[in-house]
């Protein structure tokens, strides 16, 4: 009898710890997105609007294309992969294309997309983190999708930082937004 109670207690404790860790993972991921939003919007604000079309090379995305691509990918990773909403078609989507948008409109769209993504992610249940999805022909868990999303934002934001430097601007210190 004592062994059974001990085993049940151990299993309950282990399960509780596992769910607490997953809840912490969600909290940490949301905090990372909030900090990423602040940093990205600061970077976007620092670049003069007349430089939004700047490309580091002919093959590169422009500053504004990188910004809006981050928004598209944030929307896709959160709403379509994690949230199961039908994906926007990148080639025909106009919400995340910089054409005919002002700097202020692009920044507002990005801010709104972060708000929508964070709201959706706050509703993810810890057990859902282990659900596996198709990700460009590979299988990835929703937990991995969170991490891939953060990497993708960083990748394109870094290209924006290079554009800033090539235009004589000093980007804000990243360490304040980790």
CB contact at 8 A, 80 and 72: no
pLDDT of amino acid 14: 54
The C-alpha angle with vertex 33 and arms to 29 and 37, in degrees rounded to 5, equals 170
Q: Which residues are annotated as a binding site for a divalent metal cation?
A: 69, 152, 156
List, in order of start, the domains of the chain with CATH numbers: 2-36+62-177 (1.20.120.450)
Specify the pLDDT at position 17: 47
- Quote the pLDDT of residue 19: 47
Report the half-sphere exposure of 177 (CA within 13 A, side-chain side). 16
> Where do the DSSP E strands lie in the chain?
132-135, 138-141
pLDDT in tens, the chain (178 residues): 666 665 565 555 555 544 445 589 999 999 999 999 999 999 999 999 999 999 999 999 999 999 999 999 999 999 999 998 999 988 898 999 999 999 999 999 999 999 999 999 999 999 999 999 999 999 999 999 999 999 999 999 999 999 999 999 999 988 776 6
Q: Which two tokens stand for residue 88?
A: 């926007």
Q: Spell out the residues 6+ positions from residue 147 whose beta carbon is closer than 8 angstroms to its own.
A: 29
For residue 124, the model assigns a pLDDT of: 93
């Amino acid at each position: 009898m004592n062994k059974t109670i001990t085993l049940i207690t151990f299993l309950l404790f282990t399960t509780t710890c596992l769910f607490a860790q997953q809840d912490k993972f969600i909290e940490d991921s949301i905090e990372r997105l909030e900090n990423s939003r602040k940093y990205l919007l600061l970077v976007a604000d620092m670049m003069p609007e007349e430089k939004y079309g700047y490309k580091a090379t002919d093959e590169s995305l422009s500053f504004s294309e990188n910004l809006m691509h981050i928004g598209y990918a944030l929307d896709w990773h959160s709403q379509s992969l994690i949230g199961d909403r039908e994906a926007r078609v990148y080639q025909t989507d106009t919400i995340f294309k910089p054409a005919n948008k002002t700097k202020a409109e692009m920044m507002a769209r990005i801010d709104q997309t972060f708000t929508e993504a964070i709201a959706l992610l706050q509703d993810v249940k810890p057990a859902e983190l282990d659900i596996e999805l198709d990700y460009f022909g590979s299988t990835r868990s929703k937990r991995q999708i969170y991490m891939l999303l953060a990497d993708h934002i960083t990748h394109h934001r870094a290209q924006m930082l290079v554009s800033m430097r090539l235009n004589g601007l000093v980007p804000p210190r990243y360490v304040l937004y980790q």
